[in-house]
Amino acid sequence: MLVKFQLLDTNCLHILASSRTSPSIGVSVSRLDQVEPITKKHGEQRLLKCPNGESKSFGVVHRKTGVIPGPGLKKQSSANNPDRKQRRGKRDSGRIGERGDFQVKFRLGVENGLLEKAHSRCSTKWVSYGGCIPAILQMLDLVQDLDEALRPWEDKIGNKERSIILKEQRSWKRALEIFEWFKRKGCYELNVIHYNIMLRVLGKAQKWNHVENLWDEMKVKGIVPINSTYGTLIDVYSKGGLKEEALLWLERMKKQGMVPDEVTMGTVIQLYKKSGEFQKAEDFFKKWSAIDALRNENSTATTTTEVGSALHSHGSLSSHTYNTLIDTFGKAGQLKEASETFAQMLKDGIAPNTVTFNTMIHICGNHGQLDEVALLIQKMEELQCPPDTRTYNILIFLHARHDDIKMAANYFDKMKEAHLKPDLVSYRTLLYAYSIRHMVPQAEDLISEMDGRGFEIDEYSQSALTRMYIGAGMLEKSWLWFRRFHLAGNMSSECYSANIDAYGEGGHILEAEKVFICCKDKMKLSVLQFNVMIKAYGIGKHYDKACELFDRMESYGVFPDKCSYISLIQILASADMPHIARPYLRRMQEAGLVSDCIQYCSVISGFAKLGQLEMAEELYKEMIGFDVQPDVIVYGVMINAFADIGSVKEAIGYVDAMKSAGLPGNTVIYNSLIKLYTKVGYLKEAEEIYKMFQSLEEGPAVYSSNCMIDLYCERSMVKQAEEIFNSLKRKGDANEFTFAMMLCMYKKIGRLEEAIQIVRQMRELGLLTDLLSYNNVLGLYAMDGRFKEAVETFNEMIETAIQPNNCTFKLLGVVLVKCGVPKQAVGKLELDMKKDARSGLQAWVSTLSSVVGVDNYEDI
């Protein structure tokens, strides 16, 4: 290893050597009379304890004859010594180098190349410090005892050297030990810079007690913290995840009248960004930019400053700060502010780097601004800022997300053309995009490429491709794909669950069961596999198997969790099997896993759906008995159930209970109540609910409006009915039932011309589709003597495959009787229809056509 120590202090290097042969080390040193005398005999060794607990033996110095260079040697620059870099590049040669005629050998009494190990620790950075620093740092690495390690330089360690020594320690314990040694010696000045270094070292190690103690020590010793002291504390607490403590240090800093520097400002913005408090990050930047306002915290002028103005007012910032701001605005979804910051960066002459462009591309892409993305890529080329792998990964992701899979694949190829190797993110992003689109050949080509490069296919991609094969109808290939990973033996429990779920959602219960068995054979069964298997049985409507598997869980040493109960109960309740779901709900309650009324609501709804209101009420009371409070949905289910059967007392009882619980009504409950009041004819109560509906932002539902029209029509309250009808028409919400009710009302009160207009509007809007509507139209035409229109309407019904009912034929009978056909003949038509529907229908059509004079349909 070839290393050249330049400009070493003349009294700074203490040379030790072992009796063992080792590579020579050439260094510049002082004359012998300036070096601590070494009296040990040749071959004599002493043992020194190293920081890692090893013991190292050191021997005497061997000196070649020749002239020893004096202390006046100057540091050579690369320009004066062009072969310097070349010599540095030979560090693996084992030879450290020579200076003049003096050669020093380090000979360590430890086997397996301990010297080489020590040299490898002596980084280029150490060497770049020059002077005695490299030797001191190396000795501190080798020797545990500080008195022993630092003796040669004890009176030569200045402030600068102390700072570097503390900063370069790999262990916080070693740094603290050295710091305490400096204090203990009493001859070393330890200023605020040294304390700053130790605060950072201890903070990075998250030794908060030591940090607090050091802060208290500074106060006791009268060492006044400076701007960078607070900046250091804010930084380490922030990176240590202690947001509140970091902000507390910021407040202390401001109380001292100090303004954070740009680095600290960036740290605070990062802190807010990580916690999702983007507005606070923006506000802090604005305040920081307006320094005068920051000093006067009562001023609010800065909070209204535009981002662009804040950037301009402060002048040029570093590229790192610009990148932080752009990323913060991007994560806050503020595309405009991010773009303004990027534009200001260019205006200030700060060259964007790849990180800047990556961030901007990601932000614009997430907002669907793919044209802007293209411009940014063009700008990168103009500024000769080459894209990196992350750039291409972002482009692949964005185009795949916007369903431009061709462009995503194109960028994958361009990455290779740019001599950049796709990483795991590249492959996984494109592989997932192929899988969800069932692009099997492309996905398989990508897998082959990954296998060729030795890339491991992650479990997320594995399950995604299982779904791909299933979705593409390649069930056998999906199974072979699963077995590849199963037989490799490193599938996690979660991955087995994902594969069970993939087969279950596809309705392939047999394959899902096989995966479950494979998981059992690998002894990786957990509650997760049971839950997804129960879900699969529910999708496949194998309800008995779902219950059986649930009941067998404990025999496998697995206990059902909340999700297990929820899944099974909802499957059974939605399958109209609330009586089977109820015992599992009781078991869930006994296991202490019921924390809300959701599962009770599922089972109560199941009973209500089947009309078993006694069971629903019984379960409701059981829920109350367990102190599980119903929510507005439970009340809505009960109110609606009793509204359906017209039980006013019971429905109102649940309304009162809901009000007593302090729960506000919602549209579902208001609809149920209006339905109830319409069914029992309670106009006043319905109007009160409808007024409450009108006070809501979304206004009354169409269903409720139709109910009110129905109530008004029953009472021939034309004006009120027309108000609601016209309101619905203006909003475009009027449906076929709305028009049919208005038709009935006008027909009922004899306003046949308005009724005919309603029919015309229904035809124009395509709202004449229901049997009830057709019967209402037939009734209107029969009443008004429009027999030809009646028969045409009947023929229209037959043509559109709307099956007439008894009411239809009674109305047509009225038409025939009014046209002079005897009632006995009409009765015979009705009887023939009951005997043979097809021939009977033909008889009706023929008779109507011959009597009224409308062409009949021969193909009936």
Token pair listed for 800: 């559109």
Does 431 have pLDDT greater than 90?
A: yes
Does residue 686 contact residue 708 with C-beta atoms inside 8 Å? yes
C-alpha to C-alpha distances, 289 to 19, 80, 302, 355, 547, nearest whole angstrom: 64, 46, 8, 23, 65
Does residue 665 contact residue 632 with C-beta atoms inside 8 Å? yes
For residue 3, the enclosing domain spans 1-143
Does 604 have pLDDT greater than 90?
A: yes
Name the phi and psi angles at 59, rounded to 5. -110, -160
Instruction: Assess if residue 101 is contained within a domain.
Output: yes
Token pair listed for 721: 């009915």
Over residues 213-237, the mean pLDDT reads 92
Nearest CA-CA partner of 198 in 221, 222, 182: 182
Instruction: Assess if residue 193 is contained within a domain.
Output: no
Instruction: Assess if residue 580 is contained within a domain.
Output: no
Q: Count of residues for the chain?
A: 860
What tens digit of pLDDT does each residue of 380-392 get?
999 899 999 999 9
Higher pLDDT, 418 or 84: 418
Alpha-carbon span 69 to 32, nearest angstrom: 10
User: What is the pLDDT confidence band of residue 811, given thresholds at 50, 70 and 90?
Assistant: very high
Does 63 have pLDDT greater than 70?
A: no
Nearest CA-CA partner of 314 in 348, 353, 263, 267: 348
Does 76 have pLDDT greater than 70?
A: no
DSSP H stretches of helix in 24-167: 84-88, 114-121, 124-129, 133-142, 146-150, 159-167
User: What is the pLDDT confidence band of residue 266, given thresholds at 50, 70 and 90?
Assistant: confident
pLDDT score for 107:
34
pLDDT averaged over every residue in the chain: 82
Instruction: Assess if residue 653 is contained within a domain.
Output: no
Token pair listed for 566: 């929820």
Does 29 have pLDDT greater than 80?
A: no
Chosen domain end from 97, 126, 143: 143
Does 781 have pLDDT greater than 70?
A: yes
What tens digit of pLDDT does each residue of 112-144 get?
343 444 444 456 667 777 778 888 888 888 888
DSSP H stretches of helix in 402-526: 405-417, 424-436, 440-452, 459-471, 475-488, 493-505, 509-521
Q: Which DSSP symbol is given to 94? A: S
Chosen domain end from 143, 172, 207: 143
Does 442 have pLDDT greater than 80?
A: yes
Alpha-carbon span 178 to 182, nearest angstrom: 6
Alpha-carbon span 677 to 81, nearest angstrom: 101
pLDDT score for 554:
94
What dihedral angle (degrees, nearest 10) is formed by the CA atoms of 696, 699, 702, 706?
A: 80
Does residue 548 contact residue 580 with C-beta atoms inside 8 Å? no
pLDDT score for 337:
86
Residue with tokens 């009041």: 677
Alpha-carbon span 745 to 736, nearest angstrom: 14
Higher pLDDT, 722 or 699: 722
What tens digit of pLDDT does each residue of 677-694 get?
998 889 999 999 898 888
Higher pLDDT, 108 or 268: 268
Over residues 698-721, the mean pLDDT reads 91
596 half-sphere exposure, CB direction, 13 A CA radius: 9
Instruction: Assess if residue 375 is contained within a domain.
Output: no
| Single pTM value for the model | 0.65
Does residue 516 contact residue 533 with C-beta atoms inside 8 Å? yes
Token pair listed for 412: 């994958």
Q: Which DSSP symbol is given to 506? A: T
User: What is the pLDDT confidence band of residue 807, given thresholds at 50, 70 and 90?
Assistant: very high
Helices 702-714 and 736-748: crossing angle in degrees, nearest 10, is 10
Among the listed ranges 52-56, 95-99, 853-857, which one has the minimum average pLDDT value?
A: 95-99
Chosen domain end from 143, 166, 186: 143
Instruction: Assess if residue 121 is contained within a domain.
Output: yes
Instruction: Assess if residue 811 is contained within a domain.
Output: yes
Q: How many domains does the chain have?
A: 2
Instruction: Assess if residue 844 is contained within a domain.
Output: yes
Nearest CA-CA partner of 634 in 669, 660, 610: 669
Q: Which DSSP symbol is given to 7? A: S
pLDDT score for 495:
96
